[in-house]
Structure 1
């Protein structure tokens, strides 16, 4: 196995079991490893630190896998890691929920691998050269342990560019997924499209938050922005909201939402869907003098990196300012950020600026996070990407 020697004083991250080492920390490489190859990482004093995937095309040149020198990174190793990840989610799945995240990359010691379960189908995102090199073994292990109907590749995200990998999408094994896969979450049925949907087809990271927020919507009028396939809208209707307005710029999202409303037997009199740019629609509602009891803001990732943080902060502030202006006094605002570059304290500051500009007093009632099938490894705080606030706007 090829040795990668770190510069003196650059071993701290590895010692603390953080899974990333950047290219600037490398002193020398004894040999010429292929991208995605497993290498031995050593300190400047030649002491063993960890085994890692190597990639000279990425800023994160080393993705650490294993800190025990006596363990071999082979198919058995991958089987053990996958078995542990799957077992830790087994209680999440029941008669009311048959979709969740089974593997969450670094949090499950498999950097660059995301596996989502949608009823009898699996969706894979392969985001590192190291995982791509062992993809066939991973597919075999998943087949043997889960016996899915099919495994679909959704490795079409921008993260692959950082590893110098081309985006790919398509069937990896088994049956081609139908146009709509029927899944259940919190007792609500959804038809989702893996092949054409955003990301891996469904945002299961909001499962717990949908249920929590729905408790505040009984007998209330609700505005669900960036509604996608209707998770917050459907949970609100299920808990007795008097009316829900759902807004998304995607025609496919609105079409899927309407289909899901019918699937669950919700009255069309209690919901209307609007295909529109959310910011534009919020301004239109403001001009009309429209007011709601509950406003939900769950936008896409505004800050894909720290370099985009300032621009994202302005976007989040304006979005939340508009949301606050549409609330009745004492109304509820549920606001989220899925940008890893925006930490919770920064997000709170942005909300404070929005409240000041809107001329509204705001109380924090609850804080939202990602559910347990998206665990946050204590040595890898970057895995905490989803944060949210439940606010009372006075």
Structure 2
């Protein structure tokens, strides 16, 4: 195995079990490892630190995965890690919920691997060259452990470019998923489209937050922005919302939402779907003098990296300012950021700026987080990407 020697003073992150080592921390490499090859990471004194995937094309040149030198990274190692990850989520699956994230990359010591369960199908995302090399072994293990009807490749994320990998999508094993897979979450039925849907097919990271927000929706007039397939909309209607207006720019999202309303027997008279750019639509509502009791703002990732933070902060501030202006006095705003570069304290500051510009006083009632099938390792705080605030706007 090829040794990668770190510069003096750059060992600390590895010793603290942070899984990323950037290229600038490398002093020398004893050989020429291929991208995705497993290497031995050592200190300047040639002391073992960890085993890692190597990639010369990526800023994150080393993705650390095992800190015990006596371990061997082989199929048995992958099987043990997958078994541990799957077992830790079993209690989340029941007659009311048959979808969740089974593997969450670095959080489960499998850097660059995401596996989502949708009823009897699995969606696989591979975002690192090391996991790409292990793909066939991973598929074999998933078949053995879970016996799914099919495994679908959803490795079309832009992050693969950083590893010099091309986007891929398609059937990996078993049955081709139907146009709509029927899943249940918190007792609500969804038809989701893996092939054409966003992300890996469904935003299961909002499972807990949808349930929390729904409790504030009874008899209320709700606005669900960036509604996608209707998670917040359906939960609010189920909990007795008087009316929900759902906005998304995607025609497929609106079509899927309408389908999911019918699937759950929810009255169409209590819901309106609008295909439009959310920011433009919020301005239209403002011009019309519309007001809402509850507003959900769950936008896409505005800050894919720290270099985009300033621009993203302005976008989040303007979005939340518009939302606050559309709320009745004492109304509820559930606002989210899925940008890992925006931490909770920064997000709170953005909300404070938005409140100042809107001329509204705002109280924080709760903080939203990603659910337990998206765990955060204390040695890898970057894994905490989803954050949100439940606000009362006065």
- Cα distance between partner residues in 2 of 1:337 and 1:11: 32
What is residue 189 of structure 1 aligned with on the other side? 189
What whole-Å deviation, never above 9, does each CA across 1:28-69 have from its counterpart, x for those lacking one? 000111100000000000000000000000000000010000
What is residue 105 of structure 2 aligned with on the other side? 105
Q: Does 1:167 align with 2:170?
A: no
Structure 2: gaps spanning 5 or more residues = none
What is residue 363 of structure 1 aligned with on the other side? 363
Output the TM-score relative to the length of structure 2. Answer: 1.00
What whole-Å deviation, never above 9, does each CA across 1:288-347 have from its counterpart, x for those lacking one? 000000000000000000000000000000000000000000000000000000000000
Q: Does 1:378 align with 2:378?
A: yes
Q: Does 1:124 align with 2:124?
A: yes
- CA shift, 1:160, in A, is 0.3
- CA shift, 1:22, in A, is 0.3
- Cα distance between partner residues in 2 of 1:199 and 1:48: 37
Per the alignment, in what secondary structure is the counterpart of residue 117 of structure 2? strand
What is residue 79 of structure 1 aligned with on the other side? 79
Per the alignment, in what secondary structure is the counterpart of residue 91 of structure 1? helix
Q: Does 1:351 align with 2:347?
A: no
What whole-Å deviation, never above 9, does each CA across 1:244-294 have from its counterpart, x for those lacking one? 000000000000000000000000100000000000000000000000000
What is residue 293 of structure 2 aligned with on the other side? 293
What is residue 258 of structure 1 aligned with on the other side? 258
Per the alignment, in what secondary structure is the counterpart of residue 90 of structure 2? coil
What is residue 237 of structure 1 aligned with on the other side? 237
- Cα distance between partner residues in 2 of 1:43 and 1:201: 41
- CA shift, 1:125, in A, is 0.3
- CA shift, 1:108, in A, is 0.1
- Cα distance between partner residues in 2 of 1:65 and 1:204: 25
- CA shift, 1:199, in A, is 1.1
- Cα distance between partner residues in 1 of 2:354 and 2:89: 38
Structure 1: gaps spanning 5 or more residues = none
Output the TM-score relative to the length of structure 1. Answer: 1.00
- Cα distance between partner residues in 2 of 1:231 and 1:65: 34
- Cα distance between partner residues in 2 of 1:135 and 1:272: 43
Per the alignment, in what secondary structure is the counterpart of residue 339 of structure 1? coil
- Cα distance between partner residues in 1 of 2:109 and 2:162: 19
What is residue 133 of structure 2 aligned with on the other side? 133
What is residue 18 of structure 2 aligned with on the other side? 18
Please provide the CA RMSD for this pair: 0.3
- CA shift, 1:197, in A, is 0.3
What whole-Å deviation, never above 9, does each CA across 1:336-382 have from its counterpart, x for those lacking one? 00000000000000000000000000000000000000000010000
- Cα distance between partner residues in 1 of 2:336 and 2:374: 16
Deviating 4+ runs (over 6 angstroms): none
Per the alignment, in what secondary structure is the counterpart of residue 236 of structure 1? helix
- Cα distance between partner residues in 1 of 2:305 and 2:37: 26
What is residue 337 of structure 1 aligned with on the other side? 337
Per the alignment, in what secondary structure is the counterpart of residue 27 of structure 1? strand
Q: Does 1:322 align with 2:322?
A: yes
- CA shift, 1:121, in A, is 0.3
